Structure 1
Amino acid sequence: MKTKVLLVEDDSDFGLILKQYLELSNFEVSWFQNPADVVEILDSDFSFNIGILDIMMPNIDGFSLAKIILKEKPNFPLLFLSAKNQKIDRLTGLKIGADDYISKPCDPEELILRIKNILKRVSPATLESHFKIGTYTLEAEKLLLTHPNEKVRLTIREKELLLYLLKQNNQTIKRDDILNQLWETNDYFTGRSLDVFISRIRKYFRHDEQIKIQSIRGVGFEIDFPV
């Protein structure tokens, strides 16, 4: 069965090229030029495996569309496309819950690789089971972090990072090791992306003071998860 891709791109030339390349790479692509049309099918015909959203679109921009989709489909994997390479765009997309981000014009082969990496992370074969972390429970297959006072729905990237931190518990972890393992690069933007994810994970664990993710300047992080 082919992977079903939701492509939302208002540029007719770029959208057509991207759709054709994805189809040549054995993906089934539904291409929408109007984001409002995607909103209309959320309650009925929304059977996609991953979404690729352009950011700069009329009426409904990619960030707004992502919020609408994730409200209804909180586990849905998303990748943003943007003609801009500004830090604010990248960080905004990650805060919303995107799994990845690529700037236009993009290398189609790189895009295919990023899509496959995201899908690999959400594949049932790669999902872990239950973990106790202090007073929290992580249900990785459901992307759910539970505390008696709160339930948090994780993004795929958050779950991936949290599982990596768990495996390195009670150790000092180098930033470069995390970036190379999870992002497969360690440039400025991915480094800032890591900071966003670490900040969010710290916030999720705010109900248990024993759980510590301490930053070590110039090195990385020291992890203490009571398990």
Structure 2
Amino acid sequence: MTKYKILYAEDDETLAFLTKDNLEQPYEVVHCADGISALETFKASSFDLCIFDIMMPKMDGFELAEAIRKLDEQIPILFLSAKTLKEDRIKGLRIGADDYLVKPFSIEELLLKIEIFLKRTNKPSKEQKSIYTLGRYHFDSKNYLVFTENEKINLTQRESDLLKFFLDHKNVVLKREEILKSLWGDDDYFMGRSLDVFISRLRKIVATEKGIAIENLHGIGFKFSITE
């Protein structure tokens, strides 16, 4: 299963390292050290939840949250801040934050809040989308099927998981270990060899479709390219 992706903005390097280290087992965490880079990162990718410090260089957490809210009204935003005044908490919530934890905070409490917010939002675009278009084909990820009006190709569960992962990350360079750990939780030698077999089969399916290709990037991984 694809991990939820968190955007984490914090300028304190030590705190950022410790927090990111604790969150990276269950989630994929992208860390930024200032508000401007966090905003640009948000615009360039897709995230399921945001965690922001308030006192950051270039753009503070309040400004960052306001900018994010203009782009996405639904994504959960949590503040982690040393600012303890009631006025700051109220300001953060009025801007559109979903919660506000005061530093020092408990990692266990943060993990629990993240879990609650992700369950509540349950992003339809990521978690419920099951039908994709692949040139003249359609792909039904829930039923492990690639089909046209006149043709049906059954996939194994792992082939289906892999194709869905590629489509959810189309035109993005994906490292081999990222694919293996995201889908199957392990990047050992035998899973790596199996991945190559799955990709070979998927290549045969899309080989006749113009503008669709699974690129092999030597020493790095793969890129599922779709020219729309």
TM-score normalised per structure 2: 0.52
* Structure 1, unpaired ranges of 5+: 126-227
- Partners of 2:40 and 2:113 lie apart in 1 by 27
Number of residue pairs the alignment of both structures matches:
123
Distance 1:63 1:35 in 2: 9
Moved over 4 A (4+): none
Alignment of 1:109-128 (within 5 A): 109-123=108-122
Unaligned runs of 5+ in 2: 125-228
2:30 maps to 1:35: no
Q: What's the offset of the Cα at 1:42? A: 4.0
Matches within 5 A, 1:1-227: 1-24=2-25, 26-43=26-43, 45-123=44-122
Cα offset, 1:35, TM superposition: 1.4
The one-letter code sitting in structure 2 at the alignment partner of 1:21 is N
CA spacing shift, 1:42–1:27, aligned 2, 3 Å: closer
Question: Which AA in structure 1 matches 2:19?
Answer: L
**CA contact under 8 A between 2:50 and 2:76: conserved in structure 1?**
yes
For the residue of structure 1 that corresponds to 2:24, the secondary structure is helix
- Letter paired with 2:30: S
Question: Cα deviation per residue 1:176-197 (whole Å; 9 max; x = unaligned)?
Answer: xxxxxxxxxxxxxxxxxxxxxx
Shift of 1:38: 2.0
In our comparison, the structure showing a higher alpha carbon Rg is: 2
Q: 1:46 Cα deviation (Å)?
A: 2.3
Alpha-carbon distance between aligned partners in 2 of 1:69 and 1:104, rounded to the nearest angstrom: 23
Letter in 2 for 1:13: T
RMSD of equivalent CA atoms: 1.4
Distance 1:41 1:30 in 2: 9
Q: CA deviation at 1:40?
A: 2.2
| CA deviations over 1:103-158 (Å, ceiling 9, x no partner) | 11110000000111111111269xxxxxxxxxxxxxxxxxxxxxxxxxxxxxxxxx
Amino acid at match of 2:76: P
Question: What SS does the corresponding residue of 1:90 show, helix, strand or coil?
Answer: helix
Identity of aligned residues (%): 45
